[in-house]
Amino acid sequence: MRINTDLHTHTVASGHAYSTVDEMAKGAFRKGIKLIAITDHGPQMPGGPHLYHFGNLVVVPDKLYGVKIIKGVEANILDAGDLDLDQEILALLDFVAAGIHRLTGHSLKNKKEYTEAVIQAMENPYLDLITHPVQQEYPLFLEEVVKAAAQNNVILELNASSYSPKKNYTRGIKSESLKLLQLAKKYRVNLAINSDAHFHNEIGEYSSLNFIFESEFFEKELIINRSPSHVIDYLEKRNKRINKLKKSV
Ligand SMILES: [Zn+2]
Ligand SMILES: [Zn+2]
């Protein structure tokens, strides 16, 4: 199956990624990727962008080289499931992803605490997606996470970079990713196949996830970014929900 969108990419603004927005769009165009979300790290990431970065994303065109650009963030999940951007800033963005990262100031210590923080983060009405829910450094009780994702209509990610042969450290655990696939099927939770690109040529690179595509549990209908129109449908519904929320405040 060919997926021609990518909901998790980083630019130079993240501090440890190496392409500009323009280069990312060109890179996506060259690879036939029609839609990308720019999800730079939240401000608590060392070298990460200032809040002004997120406040000013409106200046970036919605389309570059024919590639639709979704303006988002990969926020950091902190203690008690707090994110490192406040609600006013999150309200300005098209797409909010979040994950637990090291050196971002949280004091979460064990699997129970990681799981609780992720579940609490999912209660944030702006949150769309949990990045790399399978990772060696911050293991989660997956069934609890998947149930909470079903309740809060949050997307869970299958992260290609976690299995990239280029990386000197494999973040993922294949058996856990397969378990996530099975649980998502059981609880009808949306998944996203994303690259987590930190350079333009990594956009849409999903071959490290072949073990997922080949699994008997793989179900295309659960992949929210299986086509640009499915992403756009999702975002339209999301915006309706968010606008209601803004009016009620
Ligand atoms: Zn991440
Ligand atoms: Zn990332």
Ligand 1 (ion): which residues have CB within 5 A?
99, 131
Closest ligand relative to 197 C-alpha: 2
pLDDT digits (tens, 9 = 90+) for 39-56: 999 999 999 999 999 999
Structural element, H or E, at residue 115: helix 111-122
188-236 pLDDT per residue, tens:
999 999 999 999 999 999 999 999 999 999 999 999 999 999 999 999 9
Ligand in closest contact with the CA of 102: 1
Domains parsed from the chain with CATH numbers: 5-248 (3.20.20.140)
* CA-to-CA separations, 55 to 51, 100, 174, 249, in angstroms, rounded: 6, 22, 37, 20
Segment 140-167 shows an average pLDDT of 96
Q: Which ligand is nearest to the CA of 8?
A: 2
Q: How many angstroms does the Cα of residue 1 sit away from the middle of ligand 1?
A: 24
| Ligand nearest to the CA of residue 132, numbered in listed order | 1
Average pLDDT over every residue of 113-137? 98
Residue ranges near ligand 2 (ion) with Cβ within 5 Å: 74, 196
Pairing of strands 155-159, 5-9: unpaired
Distance CA 239, CA 105 (A): 31
DSSP 14: G
Quick one: average pLDDT of 103-122?
A: 98
Q: Nearest 5°: phi and psi at 18?
A: -130, 10
| 1 pLDDT above the threshold of 80 | no
What is the Å distance from ligand 2's center to 247 Cα?
Answer: 31
Q: What is the pLDDT of residue 169?
A: 81
- Tokens representing 131 are 């990045």
- Residue 168 — very low, low, confident or very high, per pLDDT cuts 50/70/90? confident
86-100 average pLDDT score: 97
- The answer to whether residue 141 scores a pLDDT higher than 90 is yes
Task: Find out whether 74 and 99 touch, Cβ atoms under 8 Å.
Answer: yes
Ligand 2: centre distance to CA 227 (Å): 21
